[in-house]
């Protein structure tokens, strides 16, 4: 099958959107006698005139041959799906060899069968991700109809959609991801196949589910993604605690947090907001409701130890009921962020700008989460600004932390022999 070729005058791809290191990798592979193209999401994005987050390359070179070209800068990874990672400092350009193999069998178990560009394109998930770009002659190569689907804003699987979802059920989550990120519609056949295959999702590796889920939370489109996951029944299977909350009267609170996180991400980028903060955005509305039900509705005022225990209990319950589990670090950090909100904005209203809290290495994450809460409730703005002043002051003065309302620094606190040591709460 001859591909459709789209030349420079048709696509008008802006080369400033393409990472120079990705172009360097392609050039080096071609100089070594191999064919190499940009592929997948990066091609989709530059056609849509969006700067890609990642740049993947497909080549005729086998992984070991890629290693020979880039030597120490190349790391080969994976068994089932052998890849080459070309390192440029902390940045990685991923290089895969063209793959072939049967496209109609269930559950892909073997991926290291080398093939042609056409075979490689037809093994990919959706037509919008099946395009190649040749930067040497500025041409887009289309074996699967992806060019038209990008311009029609349509999501369609490559090949039989039922079989494609059974081969790799995570593709159904990726489908909803692209719907949320780009506002694309799903063609009828693909949508019906997803609904038919929905229960297949539990055949996926939990680690892959978690990674796709977390990457989507980081995308700046977390709110519509969670809404689509819930609407199509995936949350009920994968994260039933979230589904249960979203079925209740306080669902809007959770979406409000996610929308604020999306807004901050799209304005300031991923450097400002990370996975632990995003996890807190998902669970803090549930946490607030649990505090309300277990304590405040009963006219009980929990002490901070109980607040901390409730945060960890909520995370544990969330993980126990979920198909996949958060990492221990992510879980504990999210619990710290949530519990610390009741240090920053105590239920009693009495704030203590404590040195020990300000020096906690994760305090800045809790402060960023307070920023999100301030977007939701502007009445918290003064408190948030005071905590920021206190944090900046301790960074500048070390242990001599000035009170945010005073020009005089705190005196450094010492523990005298026999003196009463401050009780240490969990989570500090």
Q: Which of 19, 21, 45, 54 is catalytic?
A: 54
The beta strand positions in 65-170, using DSSP E, are 74-77, 83-88, 91-97, 131-134, 139-142, 154-155
Q: Which of 120, 125, 142, 149 is catalytic?
A: 125
Residue 144 burial class via C-beta count within 10 angstroms: exposed 0-12, middle 13-18, buried 19 and up: buried
Known catalytic residue at 54: yes
CA distance 28 to 51: 23
What's 223-271 look like in SS3?
A: HHHHHHHHHCCHHHHHCHHHHHHHCCCCHHHHHHHHHHHHHHHHHHCCC
User: Cβ contacts of residue 169 below 8 Å, gap of 6+?
Assistant: 197, 200, 201, 202, 203, 204
B/e letters for 378-416, b = 16+ CB within 10 Å, e = fewer, are eebeebbebbeebbebbeeeeeebbebeeeeebeeeeee
Query: Which tokens is 119 given?
Result: 């075979």
**CA dihedral defined by 100, 101, 104, 108, rounded to 10 degrees?**
-100
Q: Which of 45, 56, 142, 149 is catalytic?
A: 56
CA distance 212 to 207: 9
Q: How many CA atoms lie within 13 A of 162 on its CB side?
A: 4
Closest residue by Cα to residue 295 from 347, 344, 256: 347
* DSSP 8-state symbol, 378: G
Please name the residue that has the structure tokens 């009445």: 379
CA 29-131-91 angle, 5° bins: 50
How far is residue 335 CA from its own chain's centroid? 19
The beta strand positions in 163-209, using DSSP E, are 185-186
User: Cβ contacts of residue 114 below 8 Å, gap of 6+?
Assistant: 62, 97, 98, 99, 100
Known catalytic residue at 371: no
Active site residues: 54, 56, 125
């Amino acid at each position: 099958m001859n591909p459709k070729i789209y030349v420079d005058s048709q696509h008008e791809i802006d080369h400033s959107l393409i990472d120079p290191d990705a172009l360097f990798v392609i050039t080096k592979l071609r100089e070594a006698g191999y064919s190499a193209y940009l592929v997948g999401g990066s091609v989709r994005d530059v056609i849509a005139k969006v700067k890609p987050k990642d740049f993947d390359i497909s080549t005729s070179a086998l992984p070991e041959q890629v290693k020979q070209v880039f030597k120490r800068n190349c790391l080969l990874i994976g068994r089932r799906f052998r890849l080459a990672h070309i390192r440029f400092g902390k940045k990685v350009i991923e290089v895969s060899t063209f793959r072939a193999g049967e496209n109609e069998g269930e559950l892909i178990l073997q991926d290291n069968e080398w093939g042609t560009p056409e075979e490689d394109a037809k093994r990919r998930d959706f037509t919008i991700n099946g395009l190649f770009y040749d930067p040497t002659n500025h041409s887009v190569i289309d074996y699967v109809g992806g060019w038209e689907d990008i311009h029609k804003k349509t999501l369609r699987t490559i090949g039989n959609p039922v079989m494609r979802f059974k081969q790799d059920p995570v593709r159904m989550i990726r489908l909803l991801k692209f719907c949320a990120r780009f506002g694309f519609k799903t063609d009828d056949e693909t949508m019906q196949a997803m609904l038919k295959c929905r229960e297949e999702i539990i055949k996926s590796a939990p680690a892959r589910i978690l990674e796709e889920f977390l990457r989507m939370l980081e995308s700046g489109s977390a709110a519509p993604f969670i809404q689509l996951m819930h609407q199509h029944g995936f949350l009920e299977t994968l994260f039933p605690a979230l589904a249960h909350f979203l079925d209740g009267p306080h669902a809007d609170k959770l979406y409000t947090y996610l929308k604020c996180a999306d807004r901050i991400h799209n304005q300031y980028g991923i450097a400002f907001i990370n996975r632990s903060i995003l996890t807190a955005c998902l669970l803090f509305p549930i946490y607030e409701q649990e505090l309300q039900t277990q304590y405040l509705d009963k006219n009980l005022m929990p002490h901070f130890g109980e607040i901390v225990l409730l945060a960890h209990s909520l995370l544990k319950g969330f993980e126990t009921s979920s198909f996949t589990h958060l990492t221990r670090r992510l879980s504990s950090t999210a619990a710290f962020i949530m519990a610390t909100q009741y240090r920053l904005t105590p239920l009693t209203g009495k704030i203590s700008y404590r040195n020990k809290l300000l020096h906690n290495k994760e305090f800045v994450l809790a402060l960023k989460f307070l920023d999100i809460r301030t977007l939701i409730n502007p009445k918290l703005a003064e408190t948030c600004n005071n905590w920021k002043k206190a944090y900046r002051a301790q960074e500048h003065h070390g242990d001599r932390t000035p009170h945010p309302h005073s020009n005089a620094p705190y005196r450094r606190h010492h523990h005298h022999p026999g003196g009463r040591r401050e009780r240490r709460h969990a989570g500090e």
